[in-house]
Amino acid sequence: MQALPNIRAIPEMQAWSGRARREGKRIVLVPTMGYLHEGHLSLVREAVKHGDCRVVSIFANPAQFAPSEDFDSYPRDLERDVRLLVEERVDLLFNPSVEDIYPPGYQTYVEVEEVSRPLCGAHRPGHFRGVATVVLKLFNIVRPHVAVFGRKDYQQVQVIRRMRDDLNLEVEIVECDTVREDDGVAMSSRNRYLGPAEREAARCLQSALGRAEALVRGGETAAARIREAVVEEISRQPLARLEYADLCDPRELRLVDEVTGPTLLAVCAWVGKARLIDNRILAVPGP
């Protein structure tokens, strides 16, 4: 099998990007934490439409995990990831070490304020500070023209967009739809934590979103009633524990009382050891 060009050192990555840019190439970055699945591969396939060379970064970022979270046990399988990326013919893998990204004495972090606060931000203090910091570092190191992210992590994309606008970053953000298993469960590296019964239980997120969507299609506009239906749907599943279900405006992520236009419904539930998130944009029916 053909080898995948791989860079670990930051100066080498910057030199590679500098050369590519001087040659007039458009660099597309797909940032990941590894343990790749079809969801990541769909981002890699989308990336081909937006530039000349595709760089995939694999870096499990300790700064976005709280001490109580699963950084140490987060699944990793670099050999398998490399095989998948070779099949996708990506141009380069960038997989820096933690010591290079956060060397001793490191003390600079990016805080994207309001949009980081609700939803996952309310339950994972410091998470989006870690995400924004590493994504800005990756942008500075890889210097992509375009970066591709998945909509499953809806709030993450909004945080990155806000950072891009606020800090005048010259990078285009491309979003891709969530990729699902055959039964509708959103793909996630953390699905691997689920046993067979839990895997079945994980479907409740998708069915709760579907129930909310049906309510809105039927003319319901009160966020409280839609939320109640979601809570009820998830509480019917004994293996699931709801963390949040909220309806927000899709850009600033402020809670809404009424669904009067496109509205984000974001849901998070624990099933066993897996913290699962999913979301849907609810659209009011046309006249």
List, by residue number, the catalytic residues. Answer: 40
Q: Quick one: 60 or 264, whose CB is closer to ligand PAF?
A: 60
155: β partners: none
What part of residues 39-78 is at the interface with ligand PAF (CB under 6 A)?
Answer: 61, 64
Q: Quick one: 61 or 206, whose CB is closer to ligand PAF?
A: 61
Quote the least distance from Cβ 168 to ligand PAF, whole Å. 20
Find out whether 213 and 228 touch, Cβ atoms under 8 Å. Answer: no
131 touches ligand PAF by CB under 6 A: yes
Query: CA-CA distance, 46 to 174, in Å (whole number)?
Result: 9
Quote the least distance from Cβ 183 to ligand PAF, whole Å. 23
Closest CA to 131 of 70, 177, 214, 66: 66
Quote the least distance from Cβ 106 to ligand PAF, whole Å. 16
Tell me which H or E stretch contains 149: strand 146-150
Closest CA to 253 of 109, 148, 132, 121: 121
Q: Quick one: 138 or 216, whose CB is closer to ligand PAF?
A: 138
Q: Quick one: 81 or 233, whose CB is closer to ligand PAF?
A: 81
Q: What track of x and - describes contact with ligand PAF for positions 77 through 116 (by CB under 6 A)?
A: ----------------------------------------
What part of residues 196-255 is at the interface with ligand PAF (CB under 6 A)?
Answer: none
Count of residues that bind ligand PAF according to CB under 6 A: 10
Interacting span for ligand PAF (CB under 6 A) from 128-136, 244-252, 254-262, 279-287: 128-136
247: β partners: 265
149: β partners: 175
DSSP secondary structure letter of residue 221 = -
135 touches ligand PAF by CB under 6 A: yes
Find out whether 175 and 279 touch, Cβ atoms under 8 Å. Answer: no
Q: What track of x and - describes contact with ligand PAF for positions 148 through 177 (by CB under 6 A)?
A: -----x--x---------------------
CA torsion, points 212, 213, 216, 222, in degrees to nearest 10?
30
Quote the least distance from Cβ 75 to ligand PAF, whole Å. 12
Q: Which amino acid is at 213?
A: E
Query: CA-CA distance, 124 to 275, in Å (whole number)?
Result: 11
What part of residues 23-42 is at the interface with ligand PAF (CB under 6 A)?
Answer: 31-33
Assigned token pair, 133: 């910091």
141 touches ligand PAF by CB under 6 A: no
Strand order from edge to edge, sheet including 263-271: 240-248, 263-271, 274-282
Binding site for ligand PAF (CB under 6 A): 31-33, 61, 64, 131, 134-135, 153, 156
